[in-house]
Chains A and B, each alone.
Chain A
Amino acid sequence: MSGQTYTDEIPSGDMQPENIEARGIPTGTISGENSPKTVPNPVMASDIKDGIKDVLPILIAIVPFAAVFGAVAIESGLSFGETMVTSLSIYAAASQYVMIDLMGQSVPVWSIVLAVFAVNFRHVLYSASIGRTMGAFSFWQKALAFFLLVDPQFASSEARASKSGLRPAYYFSYALMIYGTWMAANAIGALFGSLISSPATYGLDFILPLYFTGLVAGFHKRLNFVLILITSAGVSLAAYLTIGSPWHITLGGIAGLIIAAALSKPKDTSPQDMNKPKAVSTPKESTANV
Chain B
Amino acid sequence: MSDTIFLILACALATYATRAGGHLILSRFGATHYRLEAALEAVPTAVLTALVAPSLITNGPAEAIAVLVGGLVALRYPLVVSVISGLGTLILLRGML
Q: A66 at the A/B interface (Cβ < 8 Å)? A: no
Q: A36 at the A/B interface (Cβ < 8 Å)? A: no
CB A31 to nearest CB in B, in angstroms, measures 23
Known A116-B14, A240-B54, A267-B34: A127·B21 in contact at CB below 8 Å: yes
Query: Please, what's the 1-or-0 string for B6-22, where 1 marks a CB less than 8 Å from any CB in chain A?
Result: 11111110111111111
Q: A155 at the A/B interface (Cβ < 8 Å)? A: yes
Q: Interface SS of chain B: helix, strand, loop or mixed?
A: helix
In the complex, what residue of chain A is closest to B59 when comparing beta carbons? A206
CB A234 to nearest CB in B, in angstroms, measures 8
Contact status B10-A113, CB under 8 Å? yes
Contact status B50-A116, CB under 8 Å? no
Count of chain A residues with a beta carbon within 8 Å of a chain B beta carbon: 100
Contact status B20-A82, CB under 8 Å? no
Contact status A217-B74, CB under 8 Å? yes
Q: Which residues of A contact B10 (CB under 8 A)?
A: 109, 113
Contact status A214-B83, CB under 8 Å? yes
Top 7 closest pairs, chain A to chain B, by CB: A256-B46, A252-B50, A131-B23, A264-B38, A127-B22, A128-B22, A260-B42
Q: List 20 A–B pairs whose Cβ atoms lie within 8 Å, in order of A's numbering.
A: A16-B79, A82-B8, A89-B9, A96-B11, A116-B15, A155-B44, A210-B82, A210-B83, A212-B48, A214-B79, A216-B74, A228-B45, A231-B46, A232-B47, A233-B56, A245-B54, A252-B46, A252-B50, A253-B50, A266-B34
